[in-house]
Amino acid sequence: MFDLVLKNAQLPFKGNPTNIGIKDGKIHSISSSNLMGNEEMDLEGNVLLPPFVEMHTHLDTVLTAGEPWFNQSGTLGEAIDIWSVRKQSLAKEDVKNRAFKALKMLMEYGVLYVRAAVDISDSDLTALHAIMELREELKSFLSLQIIAFPQNGIISCPENQERLEKAILLGADAVSAVPHLENTREEGIQSLEFAFSLAKKYEKEIHIFCDEVDDEHSRFLEVVASLTMQEKMEGKVTASHANAMLYYSDAYANKVMSLVKKAQVTIVCCPLVNTTMQGRADAHPKGRGITRLKELAEQGVNVCIAHDDIQTPFYPFGNGNILQAAHMALHLAHMTGREELKHIVNMITVNGAQAYSIKDKYGIEVGKEANFACFSVKDVYEIFFKQPKCRYLFRKGALVVETVPERTSWK
């Protein structure tokens, strides 16, 4: 007898609906045969996915759009200026309350794993303490990883070197750098070397915000890949954005993509914020605002799609629905074929799990944790145009989120 049986679950890319037996928080059976449980739920042939993995968001800036003013230019520079003012008034409870709201929003759309950047550019590390407390308080509901993020740079803001190390000692999961925001290319490389040295010292992962500019001369991704191999950190490094790659010559872009694959660096594409922010200074034709998503996937690079900001100075929109980001990405990357859409599904599920270092316990397989996101669609591809809230979200066999679908009546 199982603790819970999910009946008539439509697994992605599979044939007929199946039944799943769950015991002690793990999957014990996946079968077309009838299974008996202390509790049984009929999923009515709706799609059951492993929960989504949000590999890049910001929980300290979340829900602050318009505070103290709206980003009128839409540029990264003005966003940083706004946040520099807003963060002077940060209070721990303010950060926790906004972050909690955002995490609930993400969970409503099927996210159970979140990697969040937290700016450590203040001496009190107010936001970091707040998000770390929240991580502990919510650990039975979702998994939260924290990136120690030096928004003001590492070399151009030397104080952040000590703050980064302090953040790691306090319990941050990953070290970051923003090399394209340093004063010179040389300082950008130094910032990466510092981040790698710190991560290696404390055996932490690395998550770089890389080349988020419309500039073919911003070439830090090759440095990230090279350092990854030099330090033997293959599989432990992630780079977000990589927008400058869109402006590289094909010959150079292919070289960089080959290095990235060899180094096993994960690339995270953030199509919502980057299509809004990038290309503003371009003459026509304007850049599309995302990295070479399709080409990276074709080369075998582990690529993820993330929602990123939710109503911040950097991106004034968003409700935590990672499917909106996936929908935007598949348009911009011209990945609308059925086989290509499988890759898009993977970019918000299994690829994220690989980068999140949970691949051994992630997925709908016997022996793995009973974590699922059920959507009220019969075909997995419908999630891209319906972009629904999650009907049921399970963590270790327990239901943590339930959404009653909307119904429209015609009179």
Q: Is residue 155 part of a domain?
A: yes
Q: Is residue 14 part of a domain?
A: yes
Which element (helix H / strand E) includes 402? strand 398-402
341 C-beta neighbours (distance < 10 Å), count: 17
107 C-beta neighbours (distance < 10 Å), count: 25
Q: What CATH number has the domain bearing residue 114?
A: 3.20.20.140
State both tokens at 179.
């090399």
pLDDT lower than 50: segments of the chain: none
Q: Is residue 351 part of a domain?
A: yes
One domain for residues 61 and 15: no
One domain for residues 157 and 264: yes
Q: What is the pLDDT of residue 137?
A: 98
Q: What ranges make up the beta strands (E) of 180-311?
A: 205-210, 237-241, 266-269, 303-305
Q: Is residue 184 part of a domain?
A: yes
Q: What ranges make up the beta strands (E) of 24-155?
A: 26-31, 37-42, 47-49, 52-58, 111-119, 143-149
One domain for residues 23 and 82: no
Q: Is 212 a catalytic residue?
A: yes
Helix intervals (H) in 87-184 = 92-108, 126-137, 159-170
> Catalytic pick from 54, 165, 182, 212?
212
Q: Is residue 410 part of a domain?
A: no
15 C-beta neighbours (distance < 10 Å), count: 8
One domain for residues 42 and 125: no
One domain for residues 316 and 370: no
One domain for residues 283 and 294: yes
344 C-beta neighbours (distance < 10 Å), count: 24
Q: Give the Cα separation of 401 and 396 in Å (integer).
A: 13
Q: What is the pTM of this model?
A: 0.97
The domain total for the chain is: 2
Q: What CATH number has the domain bearing residue 39?
A: 2.30.40.10
Give the range of the structural domain holding residue 390, as residue numbers without chain letter.
Answer: 2-50+363-402
Q: Is residue 407 part of a domain?
A: no
Q: What is the pLDDT of residue 406?
A: 84
One domain for residues 62 and 200: yes
One domain for residues 229 and 352: yes
Q: What is the pLDDT of residue 242?
A: 98
Q: Is residue 331 part of a domain?
A: yes
One domain for residues 26 and 84: no
Q: Is residue 408 part of a domain?
A: no
State both tokens at 376.
């009220």
Paired residues of 106 in beta bridges: none
One domain for residues 264 and 163: yes
**Which of 349, 203, 225 minimizes the C-alpha distance to 296?**
225
One domain for residues 375 and 340: no
Q: Show Cβ contacts of residue 58 under 8 Å, excluding neighbours closer than 6 positions.
A: 116, 117, 118, 119, 308, 309, 310, 312, 314
One domain for residues 25 and 67: no
CA separation, residue 131 to residues 12, 63, 161 (Å): 34, 15, 20
